[in-house]
Amino acid sequence: MRGVCERASKTQVCAESILILHLVCVGMERHGSLPKLLHTSLEDYHTQDSLVYEEVFFDFGTVEKFVQWRKQVGLLGTRLTAGNFRWKIIFITVHSKVNRRDLFAGKDESGGDVAMEVEDFMNCIFIPTLDKVVYASTLFMLTCGHLVAFEESYMAMKKAIMHLRPEYTIMFTAPDFISAVAKVFVVTYSIQVLIQGHDLLAIFQDLLNISMDLRMHADVIVFYIRGLLAPKAPFGARSRTLNVTIPPSIVGYRYSWYHTHRRPWGKALPIRCPKCGAIRPWSRSKRAQEGSHAKARAMAASECEEEVTNAKAQVSTCLGCRSEVRTEPLCDAYEIQGDKFSGWIKYTICAAEL
Ligand SMILES: [Zn+2]
Ligand SMILES: [Zn+2]
């Protein structure tokens, strides 16, 4: 049996076999390297064959390159599947195109960037036999937030997740995501989930609470697919209760950090007042007065239940010129996890059977 399990002081330390696979778009500076940090953090608990790190550059920007990629991935997937890892942590480092929300697939003949629609991209990068590796894995998308900022690409990503079935998918919404802000998140994740065996969703909030840099920078989206077949027999008492009679289902949450002076409803206020230019001038946000801003209300009417979000609108006032900024929550159902000054809003953005 691979891996070691020992009792260290009070906590049970389990080191089951782990694969870290980093897929990097060719020509990208690597946005830092969270995957390497994860690997370093885990090394203390592992022997060489129970912790495997693979970094693969991808480029399927032309038909010829795609044929090559298919060959390469076929071998890679077979080799990694034979490893029979208990945990498979996959990172994709790639840029998304600002205006078209597509993801970069590589370079064309003349070295220009080639972008692909999200669903095509996901199906190409996880072409067989790498599809077996992504199944029941934990997938971190290290890409700028344009991927999830637009309904169209967000829906395409969701479709790809439902098809490829990683157990967890984690994404960040910052337009210019800096992976350095997720360092604490990744290290704590490695210890809490991969070593101590806590359930990721159960401790997600705790991971966010200590990730101080992350909260001002990006919302965090997590998808979870319940009811997948375990990659191998669960270890000891830490078994996941699997019931094959229950069809797999997916849930998705979006966590936004709110702060009364800076991020009412988790949406960052501008650093400067757009009217008078004062820096950080905002008062503590207050609930909007009923009947005010009739125009704004009419404009917000299009998407979701206008009444509900309007009833919850917050108004922040510039202490310099008294101009106001109005903020509303997303349409999705949510829970507040924090106090009246700051904390996290947990939106349920998806819940469906597969
Ligand atoms: Zn980018
Ligand atoms: Zn002002």
Q: Which residues neighbour 84 within 8 Å (Cβ) at sequence distance 6 or greater?
A: 17, 231, 232
Final residue before a domain boundary, out of 197, 224, 246: 246
Residue 253 lies in a domain: no
Gap from CA of 280 to ligand 2 centroid (Å) = 9
Q: Which ligand is nearest to the CA of 282?
A: 2
Give the end of a domain, one of 204, 219, 246: 246
Which pLDDT does position 295 carry in this prediction?
A: 47
Residue 238's closest CA among 199, 191, 201, 200? 199
From ligand 2's centre to the CA of 277, what distance in Å? 6
71: enclosing H helix or E strand: helix 63-82
Instruction: Check whether residue 129 and residue 83 sit in a common domain.
Output: yes
Tell me, what's the pLDDT at 300? 47
Kindly compute the dihedral angle of the four CA atoms of residues 83, 88, 89, 92, in this order, to the nearest 10 degrees. 70
Pair 235, 276 in one domain: no
Domain count within the chain = 2
Measured in Å, residue 322 CA sits from the centre of ligand 2 at 6
Q: What per-residue confidence (pLDDT) applies to 97?
A: 75
Dist. CA 324 → ligand 2 center (Å): 8
Indicate if 281 and 226 belong to the same structural domain: no
In a domain, 311, yes or no: yes
- Report how far apart the first and last C-alpha atoms of the chain are (Å, whole number): 33
CA 229 to ligand 2 centroid distance, Å: 56
Whether 237 and 181 map to the same domain: the answer is yes
Q: What is the CATH number of the domain that holds 151?
A: 3.40.50
Short-list 272, 278, 263, CA closest to 321? 278
Is 254 domain-assigned?
Answer: no
Return the ligand number nearest the Cα of 316: 2
**Cβ pair 188, 213 in contact under 8 A:** no
- Is there a domain that residue 190 lies in? yes
* Shared-domain flag, residues 209 and 277: no
Same domain, 132 and 280: no
Query: Do 238 and 265 have their domain in common?
Result: no
pLDDT of residue 180: 87
At residue 304, the pLDDT reads: 59
Residues 121 and 266 in one domain: no
Are residues 280 and 198 located together in one domain of the fold? no
Same domain, 8 and 102: yes
Mark whether 143 and 87 lie in a shared domain: yes
Q: For every one of its 354 residues, what pLDDT tens digit does the chain have, with 9 covering 90 and above?
A: 344 444 443 345 556 899 999 999 988 765 568 999 999 999 989 888 899 999 999 999 999 999 999 999 999 999 999 999 999 999 999 888 766 678 889 999 998 889 899 999 999 999 999 999 999 999 999 987 778 888 888 899 999 999 999 999 999 988 888 888 999 999 999 999 999 999 999 999 999 999 998 998 999 999 999 999 865 544 443 445 555 567 899 999 999 999 998 999 999 999 999 999 999 899 999 988 754 444 444 444 445 556 666 678 999 999 999 999 999 999 899 999 999 899 999 999 999 998
For residue 91, being part of any structural domain is answered with: yes
* pLDDT at res. 239: 47
Q: Which of 186, 211, 246 is the last residue of a domain?
A: 246
pLDDT at res. 354: 86
Is 251 a member of any domain?
Answer: no
How remote is the CA of residue 326 from the centroid of ligand 1, in Å? 29
Q: Identify the domain containing residue 182 by its residue range.
A: 4-246
Same domain, 153 and 291: no
Burial of 315 (0-12, 13-18, 19+ CB in 10 A): middle
**Residue 252, domain member (yes or no):** no
Query: Residue 60: what pLDDT?
Result: 93
Ligand 1 centre distance from Cα of residue 102 (Å): 11
Which residue do the tokens 């920007």 mark? Answer: 61
CA atoms within 13 A on the CB side of 51: 19
Residue at 347 is within a domain: yes
